[in-house]
Structure 1
Amino acid sequence: MNESQVVSATRQWVEEVVVGYNLCPFAKRELVKNRVRFVVSEAENEDELLQALQSELQRLEDEPDVETTLLIHPGVLQDFLAYNEFLDAADALLSYLELEGVFQVASFHPDYQFAGTDAGAAENYTNRSPYPMLHLLREASLEAAIDHYPDVDGIPDRNIALMNELGVEKMRTILKRCTDAET
């Protein structure tokens, strides 16, 4: 797989799942405005991924026209438990760089599993993506969007209900279609 194929699969997932099913009511605007940066990291280990994360955080600091970055890393952290543990290192990097409260890192993974859920539960598809990725968000923008959105606290429950309604097979098919389109 090459970089353009990974970006294409990820973009299709964002358009079809995240925006198409309105899992994130704030995503469409930034996607339409072309303010979402899709980056494929060539990292093959966690240290290299932390370096890529630091570079992307710096880029967001330097380029205010980029609203958010999806740092896709298909070569590292394929195992969800290792990925989940890595999120602590990502948060520690934010702290070290004194960027807590400026940026936050959201997580998406092909095997995403919320604590206390069965691995096969449909609700996990709210955060399942074609490849492991870190979503870098500007906190100020997120707070502004939340301030203008009615019932933001209801988003997770609506998303879980939608995933349960659509079902595991449909969501699995959609994710497969995204990655199959790249070949």
Structure 2
Amino acid sequence: MPGDDAVIGATRRWLERAVIGLNLCPFAKAVHARGQVHFAVSAADSPASILDDLARELDGLVARDARERDTTLLIVPHCLELFLDFNDVVARGERMIRKKGLEGVIQLASFHPHFCFADSSDDDVTNFSNRSPYPTLHLLREASIDKAVRAFPDAEAIYGANLETLRKLGAEGWAALDVGPAR
């Protein structure tokens, strides 16, 4: 299994080449350029341990000024290989956010090497909009999302544009980006 530096390197490459490079998230470039993205690697090998790590990262994000840390990517390389198990942890993470009274303050997004939209086949290239080298829990500040959406003329069009970008790119184009999945 790769070490933390390799895991972060693969995730950073995915962020730079796919998420930012393909403009899948037009808001990511600015926070990345300002060094406000925190990369954390979970050593957890069980869902309960991942949730402990998520709670720690959540507390760490909330405790810092957004100008220092605007968002956190918690990368989980040793667990949650199965997408359905990952979805269960995401649901539990969302409940944690609510229980901590942070609903409307922090949002949890998720990425997985085997992500598959409910209405698509596993080999549909549009699934790659949410595929990452490793299971990844993404903590975002709602205030930053709101600010970015206000600055973006048609934020609701992002999803459709992403699907079109990925269809044009195709599976071979995605593979040429060399961004995973790592497994």
Question: Which stretches in structure 1 are left out of the alignment for 5+ residues?
Answer: none
C-alpha contact 2:77 2:134 (8 A) present in aligned 1 = yes
Residue in structure 2 matched with residue 115 of structure 1 by the alignment: 118
Distance 2:48 2:181 in 1: 28
Q: TM-score when scaled to structure 1?
A: 0.94
Distance 1:48 1:86 in 2: 11
Cα displacement (A) at 1:151: 0.8
Residue in structure 1 matched with residue 8 of structure 2 by the alignment: 7
C-alpha contact 1:129 1:175 (8 A) present in aligned 2 = no
- Deviant stretches of 4+, over 3 Å: 175-180
Residue in structure 1 matched with residue 159 of structure 2 by the alignment: 156
Q: TM-score when scaled to structure 2?
A: 0.94
Identity %: 39
Cα displacement (A) at 1:179: 4.6
State the SS of the aligned residue for 1:99.
coil
C-alpha contact 1:112 1:125 (8 A) present in aligned 2 = yes
Cα displacement (A) at 1:88: 1.0
Distance 1:31 1:119 in 2: 30
State the SS of the aligned residue for 1:137.
strand
Amino acid at match of 1:133: T
Q: Which moved more, 1:153-162 or 1:166-175?
A: 166-175
Residue in structure 2 matched with residue 137 of structure 1 by the alignment: 140
Cα displacement (A) at 1:85: 2.1
C-alpha contact 1:10 1:178 (8 A) present in aligned 2 = no
C-alpha contact 1:94 1:103 (8 A) present in aligned 2 = yes
C-alpha contact 2:10 2:179 (8 A) present in aligned 1 = no
C-alpha contact 1:130 1:175 (8 A) present in aligned 2 = no
Cα offsets for 1:28-64 (capped at 9, x unmatched): 0011100000100001000000000000010011111
